[in-house]
Amino acid sequence: MIKGFKEFIARGNAIDLAVGLVIGAAFTAIVTALVEQVLNPLIGGIFGEPNFDNVLVITMQTGLAEEPAEIRPFAVATALLNFLIIALAIYFMVVLPMNRFAEHRAKGKEAQPEGPSEDVLVLREIRDMLAQQTGQSPPSSAAPGTPDAPHADGPRAGRPPA
């Protein structure tokens, strides 16, 4: 799970980043509603507060301001929890399905065997024409090392490979 998420982040593809930003922005409203309407009430039932903002409040009275300054370190914990929930939701609902789809497409491409390249076809034609000119029967198109493969007594016998 985490390995796949790290691979997604480390890919560095600008298209993936742009798509992720757009989908993330659109998906944030759904996850925010989930957090605010479902998870925060659950947290409130367990801890007595709907979020961690007021778990620890440090007040500091300064001489210049009429209101005391408030420091809320657990507000960062609330923001971090919301971020993790959004990141996990996007990962499981968008990234994993897209990765599986890409793997499925890649398997489909691998399953189709490709024929010989055009270079190989041209070389076979040249070989067959040379064999006809020398009066030999054209060799089969078997792979080297098989019983039907051409032997080393052809026109290039004894020469190093080109």
Query: Each residue of 26-50: pLDDT tens digit?
Result: 877 887 888 788 877 887 788 777 7
User: What is the value of pTM for the model shown?
Assistant: 0.45
Nearest alpha-carbon partner for 34 in 84, 73, 75, 77 = 84
Burial class (CB in 10 A: 0-12, 13-18, 19+), 119: exposed
Task: Give Cβ neighbours of residue 156 (< 8 Å, ≥ 6 apart).
Answer: 162
The pLDDT value given to residue 126: 92
Q: Residue range 121-138: average pLDDT?
A: 87
60 pLDDT higher than 80: yes
The pLDDT value given to residue 69: 85
Residue 37 to residues 17, 34, 60, 80, 159, Cα–Cα distance (Å): 29, 5, 33, 18, 79
Confidence of residue 112 (pLDDT cuts 50, 70, 90): low
Contact 106, 98 (CB under 8 A): no
The pLDDT value given to residue 115: 78
All domains of the chain, ordered by start, with CATH? 2-106 (1.10.1200)
Angle at 134 (CA atoms; ends 120, 150), nearest 5 degrees: 45
151 pLDDT higher than 70: no
